[in-house]
Amino acid sequence: MQILEFYILRTFWKPFVTSLFFFSGLIIITRFFTQSTLLIETQLSPLIFTEYFLCQIPFALVLVSPVAVLLACLFSLGSLAHHNEIMAMKSSGVHSYRIILPILLSALFISFLITGFNNSIVPKANQRVSKIKSQKIYRENISFIVENLSFRNDKGWFLTIKSFDKEKGKMEGIEIKALNDEGHLSLRIDAKEARWVNGIWRLEKGILRGFNQQGLVIKEEKFEEQMLQMWSPKEIWLISQAEKKQTNDMSIKELVAYIELLKESGCKFNDKLVDLHLKISFPFANLIMALIGTSLSLQKPKGKIVASFGLSIFISFLYWEAIGIARALGMAENLPPAFSAWIANIIFGIIGIYLAFKIKN
């Protein structure tokens, strides 16, 4: 059996690797022709030009891995069936499920491998692509100054900042409001500016006011300096970029921390939560596609290569469409974030299990 399993694995891995790089290359070539005119007009150096496309390969590999697994299953088992090797295995007493087990285990391994790859290599590559696109292609003016920023800090206080400069660690026109348990204003701090000094914010030239239950001022103090323990300039900057920050540029750990930061600040984070669950669910599409592919191959063992290619593209297209629709529904809060990220896997997983039960030995 070890020799047989090794033989089955060899017939699977060769078309998988070939398909993986073929479809990834197809995506990169398509992007090259659609973006080449713009890139040439910007007069990018050959090194940056090459780097821009090479850094897109990791994300493309993750994106096409399910279709590569599906095509490899259809092609490998179809090839074995074409040479009557499947029939020989069954005649020797090898059960159909034992034939597909090595491929399913390989697909499970690929799922975990893609999860790690998508969590480590892909974010760094995407960050570089975004940086080249913003700085070299569109030549956007990089500014770390945000105006009219409002959010809730880690103490539950509400802040309004007229101007925030991340690089200088400086805020201007600060208004801080604290509410009591009944939702009434209990404290208000107004300061002309604040500076990030030795890990703490130093408010300068301000007024501190305290209020009673009726909303009347019971205390008013002017100050030249007042220390405030709060998020760092980097964290405040991340909050200000909530609608611009790309989830594909972050690892799972970074995205979890970012969601917690947005949650504490009172900003919307539902779209980020959907993408977090997708980062976990999408790699396991490889296992589901392997289940569907192996089941279809054993039910129609004499399928042709062209038909297998077309079928894999069709099924993968349906899967991607299901993910896109569910993601949109999740971001619109019509579906729970976790459910919207896993619903495509659940549907296609049920289909795969159903097809597996129909396999005849």
119-132 per-position pLDDT tens digit? 999 999 999 998 88
What span, in angstroms and rounded, lies between the C-alpha atoms of 210 and 225?
17
Q: How confident is the model at residue 181 (pLDDT cuts 50, 70, 90)?
A: confident
What span, in angstroms and rounded, lies between the C-alpha atoms of 11 and 100?
12
| 71-106 pLDDT, tens digit each | 999 888 888 887 888 888 888 888 888 888 999 999
Q: How confident is the model at residue 304 (pLDDT cuts 50, 70, 90)?
A: low
pLDDT of residue 151: 83
Task: Using the predicted structure, report yes or no on whether residue 46 has a pLDDT greater than 60.
Answer: yes
Mean pLDDT estimate for the chain: 87
Task: Using the predicted structure, report yes or no on whether residue 346 has a pLDDT greater than 90.
Answer: yes
Q: C-alpha angle with apex 81: 79 to 85, nearest 5 degrees?
A: 100
| 214-265 pLDDT, tens digit each | 778 888 889 889 888 888 888 888 888 877 778 888 899 989 988 888 888 8
Mean pLDDT of 9-28: 93
Mean pLDDT of 335-351: 94
Closest by CA position to 272, among listed 264, 283, 260, 284: 260
Residues in Cβ contact with 113 at an 8 Å cutoff, skipping those fewer than 6 apart: none
Question: Pick the residue with more confidence: 92 or 68?
Answer: 68
Residues in Cβ contact with 51 at an 8 Å cutoff, skipping those fewer than 6 apart: 128, 132
Phi, psi (5° rounding) for residue 55?
A: -75, -10
What span, in angstroms and rounded, lies between the C-alpha atoms of 122 and 134?
18
| Highest-confidence segment of 41-45, 162-166, 184-188 | 162-166
Mean pLDDT of 291-303: 76
